[in-house]
């Protein structure tokens, strides 16, 4: 059975060009970039090149980039660096819709003596910069707000947010893991102090991330060890993956504008056709300010895990914000924060596309999905009722 992969916000396939670039560094060129001999030196040169490529994708200089193990490590490094560097400040601002890498860390810090403001979002998943403005205080050590949401694709007004935060003299970090490579980002123009990105969301392998730290930002390393990364992150570099990340950033930079057109076209086609063919379906989140590859669609009166498993029978891979998929009992905190009614939140499906998706695949989903929803609705006690008497959407 052919696999139709539309779960690219979870992870992406490694681009063939990326893999080609990495392979020699597993066998022929296995030197340690810290070594004094030229066998290691050539690897160090290649690392430098990769750092340059990552930096230029976001408008940074190479010495503002430090490589990490993943997006989560980048987020943790940024937040912990800020609070350790400002020991007198005990307040953190973030949002209710962050990725667990930020959300769970902030909740942990909250239990350990920090005051955390979790900014709300509206029904479209939008943030009101006014709320942020009001929450800032002298005690604020860091503001950490994602660039684009992983579930809905909603893009926050980072330029405006960054301005408000940095004008108040507070450190601003953004988790840009979903945004990098999908929309143009230029840290020269936008006042972010720290920015996280991750390799496996942009066709590099899993297990490599990077953190941009603006020159002059107070910084305390999270991983203390050797002199690697200018002492900002100890540990021998994950050489091949860093080289892969560099290549992936180079490819993304070259194609970001043109590539997004076909991806957006496919996403819109998928979304519009589903909405046309399936009653009681709705898109979650602001459809205008959104990543070009993501759509989160809720199907009322059916449950997400059941939809996923039926799609799986056709080789279609997507993900869901339903509770049952994660082993938790509450549906996605993002959809709940947006006030999506329970009726819909339990039945949400996220499709996230990449340049490797084809129109044929999208057509296949458009054909196969509506009967799946219909079948599950026939099973559902609420579907019949919804046709006769309106069921109140259950709000939480």
Partner 1 sequence: MWDYTDKVVDHFLHPRNVGEVENPDGIGEEGSLACGDALKLTFKLDENKRIKDAKFQTFGCASAIASSSALTEIVKGMTLEEAQKVTNDDIARYLGGLPKEKMHCSVMGRDALEKAIAYYRGEAEKEIEGEIVCECFGVTDVEIERAVRESNLTTVEDVTDYTKAGGGCESCHDKIQEIIDEVYGKPHVVRLKPAGLTNIQKIKLIEQTLEREIKPSLQKDGGDIELIDVDGNTVIVKLQGTCATCVASQVTLKHYVEAKLRELVTPELVVQEIQS
1 vs 329, beta carbon nearer partner 1: 329
CA pair distance 125, 284, nearest whole angstrom: 8
Closest to partner 1 by CB, 139 or 305: 305
Taking the complex as a whole, how short is the minimal distance between the CB of residue 303 and partner 1, in angstroms?
5
247 vs 256: CA distance, rounded Å: 14
CB neighbour list of residue 22: distance below 8 Å, 6 or more residues apart: 205, 240, 241, 243, 244, 247
Question: Rg of the chain's alpha carbons, rounded to an integer?
Answer: 22
Two tokens, residue 181: 């490579």
> Reduced to 3 DSSP states, what percent helix, strand and coil does the chain have, rounded to the nearest 5?
45, 15, 40
Query: What spatial distance separates the first Cα and last Cα of the chain, rounded to whole Å?
Result: 40
Catalytic residue, candidates 106, 249, 317, 324: 324
Smallest gap from Cβ 251 to partner 1, in A, equals: 30
Q: Which is nearer to partner 1, 122 or 378 (CB)?
A: 378
Please confirm, yes or no, whether 324 is among the known catalytic residues: yes
Cβ closest to partner 1, residue 271 vs residue 300 = 300
Alpha carbon 321 to chain centroid, angstroms? 15
**Closest distance to partner 1 from the beta carbon of 266 (Å):** 25
Binding site for partner 1 (CB under 8 A): 301-306, 309-310, 313, 322-324, 327-331, 342-343, 346, 378-382, 384, 391, 394, 396
CB of 343 to partner 1, least distance (A): 5
Q: Are 193 and 219 in contact (CB under 8 A)?
A: no
The pair of three-digit structure tokens given for residue 22, joined into one six-digit string: 């990495």
Shorter beta-carbon distance to partner 1: residue 11 or 61: 11
How many helices and strands, by DSSP H and E, does the chain display?
A: 13, 13
Active site residues: 324
């Amino acid at each position: 059975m052919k696999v139709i992969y539309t779960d690219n916000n979870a992870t992406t396939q490694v681009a063939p060009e990326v893999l080609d670039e990495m392979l020699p560094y597993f066998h022929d060129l296995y030197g340690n970039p810290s070594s004094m001999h030229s066998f290691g030196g050539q690897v160090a040169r290649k690392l430098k090149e990769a750092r340059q490529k990552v930096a230029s994708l976001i408008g940074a200089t190479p010495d503002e980039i430090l490589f990490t193990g993943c997006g989560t490590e980048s987020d943790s490094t940024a937040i912990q660096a800020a609070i350790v560097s400002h020991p007198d400040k005990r307040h953190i601002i973030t949002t209710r819709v962050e990725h667990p890498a930020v959300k769970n860390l902030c909740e942990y810090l909250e239990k350990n003596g920090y005051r955390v403001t979790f900014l709300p979002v509206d029904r479209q998943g939008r943030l009101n910069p006014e709320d942020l403005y009001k929450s800032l205080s002298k005690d604020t050590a860091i503001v950490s707000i994602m660039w684009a949401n992983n579930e809905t694709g909603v893009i926050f007004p980072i330029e405006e947010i960054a301005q408000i935060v940095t004008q108040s003299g507070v450190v601003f970090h953004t988790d840009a893991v979903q945004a990098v490579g999908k929309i143009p980002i230029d840290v020269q123009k936008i006042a972010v102090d720290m920015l996280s990105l991750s390799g496996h969301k942009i066709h590099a392998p899993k297990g490599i991330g990077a953190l941009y730290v603006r020159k002059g930002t107070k910084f305390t390393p999270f991983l203390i060890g050797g002199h690697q990364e200018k002492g900002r992150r100890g540990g021998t570099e994950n050489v091949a993956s860093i080289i892969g990340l560099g290549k992936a950033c180079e490819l993304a930079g070259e194609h970001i504008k043109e590539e997004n057109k076909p991806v957006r076209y496919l996403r819109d086609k998928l979304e519009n056709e589903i909405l046309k063919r399936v009653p009681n379906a709705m898109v979650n989140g602001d459809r205008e300010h959104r990543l070009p590859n993501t759509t989160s669609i809720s199907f009322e009166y059916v449950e997400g895990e059941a939809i996923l498993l039926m799609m799986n029978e056709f080789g279609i891979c997507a993900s869901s914000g339903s509770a049952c998929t994660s082993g938790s009992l509450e549906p996605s905190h993002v959809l709940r924060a947006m006030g999506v009614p329970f009726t819909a939140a339990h039945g949400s499906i996220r499709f996230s596309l990449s340049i490797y998706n084809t129109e044929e695949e999208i057509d296949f989903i458009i054909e196969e999905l509506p009967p799946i929803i219909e079948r599950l609705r026939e099973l559902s006690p609420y579907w019949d009722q919804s046709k006769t008497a309106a069921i109140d959407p259950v709000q939480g």
